[in-house]
Structure 1
Amino acid sequence: MPEPWLSADDIAVHLGVTKDTVYSWIADKGMPAHKIGRLWKFQASEIDDWVRRGGADASGPSPH
């Protein structure tokens, strides 16, 4: 069964941050997101991988 697409609200809850933080991370830190019409959609596996690689660190994505 394919992984469901999640909304910005869903990802914010998943990560324990605000929706504004999610939008900021898309713009400033390269958070993996897919624009579908006017909406941003996410897959939890992509977000989890991004976080593990250091994407949400204050210094930005890790160079690895």
Structure 2
Amino acid sequence: MSEPWLSADDIAEHLGVTKDTVYAWIADKGIPARKVGRLWEFKVSELDEWVRRDGGTEAGA
């Protein structure tokens, strides 16, 4: 079974940040996401890898 795509709200909760922060990271830091229509979608495994690899030093900022 494939991993589900999650919303910006779900990812913000997962990371403990605001949805605005998630959107800023999309624009400024290249957080892994795809845009479907007006909505952004995320996979937790890709996001967690991004935090470990690229975003870890500034993920809390």
Matched length: 58
The letter of the residue matching 2:30 is G
**1:56 deviation in Å?**
4.7
1:3-14 equivalences in 2 (<5 Å): 3-14=3-14
Q: Tell me the C-alpha RMSD between the 2 structures.
A: 1.0
Q: Which structure features the higher share of helix residues? A: 2
1:22-61 equivalences in 2 (<5 Å): 22-58=22-58
Q: Within 1, Cα distance between the matches of 2:26 and 2:56?
A: 10
Q: Which structure features the higher share of strand residues? A: 2
Q: Label 1:36 to 1:57 Cα distance change in 2 as closer, same or farther (>3 A).
A: same
* Deviation >3 Å, runs of 4+: none
TM-score (norm 2): 0.89
